[in-house]
Amino acid sequence: MPVFKVNVKWSKELFSGVELNTDEPPLVFKAQLFALSGVQPERQKIMVKGSTIGDVDWSNCAANLKNDMTLMMLGSADKLPEAPVKQQQFMEDMSEAQLAIALDLPVGLKNLGNTCYLNSVVQYLKACPELCTQLSKYSNTHGDMPGSLTLALKNTYDFMDKYKQQEFAPILLVQLLKTVFPQFSTTGEDGTPQQQDANECLTELLRILQQNLPKLSGSSKNLIEKYFFGEFAVTMKNDESPEEPERTSSENFLQLSCFISQDVKYLQTGLRQRLEEKLTKKSELLNRDAQYTKTSRISRLPAYLSIQLVRFFYKERERVSAKILKDIKFPLVLDLFEICTSDLQKRLIPTRESFKVQEDEENQKKKAEKAKAAEAVEAKTQPSQQATQKVEEEELASFSFDDDVGSNNSGYYDLVAVLTHKGRSSNSGHYVGWTKNAKTGQWYMYDDDVVSPVTEEDILKLSGGGDWHTAYVLLYGPRRLKSRFLNKSPASAEAAAASTTTPSAIETSDKK
């Protein structure tokens, strides 16, 4: 019987009927006791007939568990916050937490001891609504630790979406991350948790999700594999032997890398340089080591593209991961057409043509609005103020190819999240997440539990060049096309425009 109802004695308190499920790691049970007592899991010492419950499994006490038994818990709780004295407050008198609730800001995550690297990654991944939807349906059927970590991430997102609080302490998520990945549990000489590399945390979390999320309907792959993985077509050419045939292969990638050198000032430049490399390997034809040119082109674009700006390098003498502070400009709209294979480029063109028609119409509307405003100024009159009408959301076309769910069918991307670092080393300093709300388009800065609305101009200032927050990892999502523009080309749009303008011109001449 893996599920028990037990009583827990703590100090003068007795908690009755607490559920204990041995199919789940003990950390889940400790998280329940934290909610009841305020004693954080790492401070809890729970005794079962002389044995102490661990964090990973129940092996040392499972045989002694039974219904309605009483366990003893030792540990001190954090001091509870005092109740507010004031019953009424004005906005200028509110704290950051109270102001966030009043302004209906998204939920931030409490720093539990140098855990900003994890908090920023959680906010970063939340910018993918498809991932959040898939996670909301997840259940840990195997009961293993990686599955429990996935479940903890799901529960974190559930709390952030459902409850109107300014902050959430992801205690169970932190504990399980450190249990599954011990490299994130290192401490300093004084026992303080050390800072960790946020991109390493991001990569490990995506790998865990890749292992645990179920396969998509009608596919042999899951959401991570379809929406986050891309594919390279790779050509290997022997520079010293033209007679040796070129070798072609394919490689999957979860993230693109932008290496920063002296001549790299823009993200696109760094990406292009990475796609052509010189390397040395043994040639079977020459029977010795020879220089090869490895050329990579993207043969499949994922819906969500993660790009790391490789800002850290290891200094052997100082034994530290030093940081490159150089300013690297990145765009809000990214176009990867040029670094795709010719076959993929041909498939991208129809949707790209439709995007041109959509952009032309949007530009014409902006020009018309500016012209009306200029006419009003010239006539020294105020533009007529009409009642604000709710703009109906237009239906959007699929961003994927029909035969490849989770792909990008245009090569166009919108920036949806940025993970920044402030400091001089990846294992020190401070990480912050910046994400764009998918529904409103509003950008937010997530500095742990402090959430602030920011502008696109603020986002572009994260390009580096100093000790300010510097972009470390970028997340680009698919640029969306309105359905009414699907399968339209500039030529067809011009023909349609001509057919609508011709009658009006004839009518004008007849009136004259």
| Catalytic residue, candidates 116, 128, 258, 340 | 116
DSSP one-letter code for 479: P
Rounded Cα gap, residues 120 and 122, in angstroms: 6
Q: Cα dihedral sign for 133, 409, 207, 204?
A: negative
| Catalytic residue, candidates 201, 340, 430, 469 | 430
Rounded Cα gap, residues 18 and 368, in angstroms: 66
Residue 258 annotated to the active site? no
Rounded Cα gap, residues 465 and 208, in angstroms: 34
Rounded Cα gap, residues 333 and 186, in angstroms: 38
What is Dmax (Cα atoms) for the chain? Answer: 104
Burial of 386 (0-12, 13-18, 19+ CB in 10 A): exposed
Rounded Cα gap, residues 240 and 488, in angstroms: 48
Residue 116 annotated to the active site? yes
Answer yes or no: are the C-beta atoms of 101 and 430 closer than 8 Å. Answer: no
Answer yes or no: are the C-beta atoms of 304 and 230 closer than 8 Å. Answer: no
Q: What are phi and psi of 352, to 5 degrees?
A: -65, -35
**Beta strand 70-74 with 45-48: parallel, antiparallel or unpaired?**
antiparallel
* Residues forming the active site: 116, 430
